Structures are given as structure tokens and as C-alpha cells.
Amino acid sequence: MAREYLTCLTESMTSVLKKMIDIDSVSLEAAPVLPSVTAGVTVVSLLGFNGARKGRVVMEMSIDTAQHLGQALNQEELTPFDKMIFYALSELSNIFCGAAVTKINNGPDRPGLRLTPPNILVGEGMQVFDAHAELETARVTWSDGEIFIHLSMERGAG
């Protein structure tokens, strides 16, 4: 089940990147790799979901990728750590996760998933652990950037 949800999330991310900022990206399978796989300063968007299944979606990227996406989404030059970057990434998280949850909810299982608002975390040497969950990871990549999407599903749910 987690793999199906992760596929919906990555397909949604590639679609949103294309529609919103004309980035052609591809989704690649990656081994579960939390804590952080991004070296240096990492930007994380964390959303929870509940319903028939409970879990978390972690969108992870470098600060350079975050700045690039923030600039593209805002259509203006932004300095690293500008609040507009993080507002834009929060919206990107809402949009791609919302689209994926809608697709999942309209599927045959109809789990009635709901999203929590995203939290944006920025730091160096950041570590995210979840000892009580199944973890799946994928990478969405394009010519000059990449985003890791980690899906953490609570064990025993659903």
C-alpha cells in the first residue's frame, strides 16, 4: 500500500512541477534513507495525513534546490533563506500532496485521507527518525535539481 501511495505522490510532484514551472522531471525509486540524504543545509516540508491510514510525507531538498524552486514559483530573484522560498515550498507541498491524496481517495479503497498543514524545517545535519513506521523513498530529479520524497506509514494501520 505504501508503495502505491508513494507512486501517487511522485507522479503528482512531476505533474505539478511541469504545470507550475515547466520543469520536466522524472521519478526514480530510492532505498529508504531517512535521516536526511541531502548534504549541507537541508529544507524539509513535513505533512501528516490521517484517515484509514496514518502517516507522514517528507519532501526533502538542498537549500540550492529550494531557492531555485522558490524563485521559479515566485517569478523573482530571492536570496537563500528568504521567507518567500518557504511559503512557496509550503504551497508546493499542499498542491502535490493534495492532488495525490485526491487520487488515492478516489481509488478503489477510498481511505478518506486528510492532510495536515505543512511544516517547513531548515537546518544543517538535520535528522528525521520514525521508529514505528514503514518507510518508502523516491527521488524526483531534473537537469539541475532533485527532491527526495519520503513516505512514512504507521505500522498496523489499514
- Express each pLDDT in 124-157 by its tens digit: 877 666 666 678 889 999 999 999 998 988 876 4
pLDDT in tens, 92-120: 999 999 999 999 999 988 999 999 999 99
Extract long-range pairs of 103-110: CB within 8 Å, 24+ residues apart: 103/8, 103/12, 104/4, 104/5, 104/8, 105/51, 109/52
Count each helix (H run) and each strand (E run) in the chain, helices first. Answer: 3, 7
The pLDDT value given to residue 158: 46
pLDDT in tens, 35-76: 556 678 889 999 999 998 899 999 999 999 999 999 999 999
Could you tell me the domains of the chain? 1-19+33-154 (3.40.1550.10)
Would you say residue 79 has pLDDT above 80? yes
Is the separation of the CB atoms in 127 and 75 below 8 Å? no
The pLDDT value given to residue 131: 66
Q: What is the H or E stretch that residue 136 is in?
A: strand 133-142
pTM for the predicted model, two decimal places? 0.88
The pLDDT value given to residue 132: 62
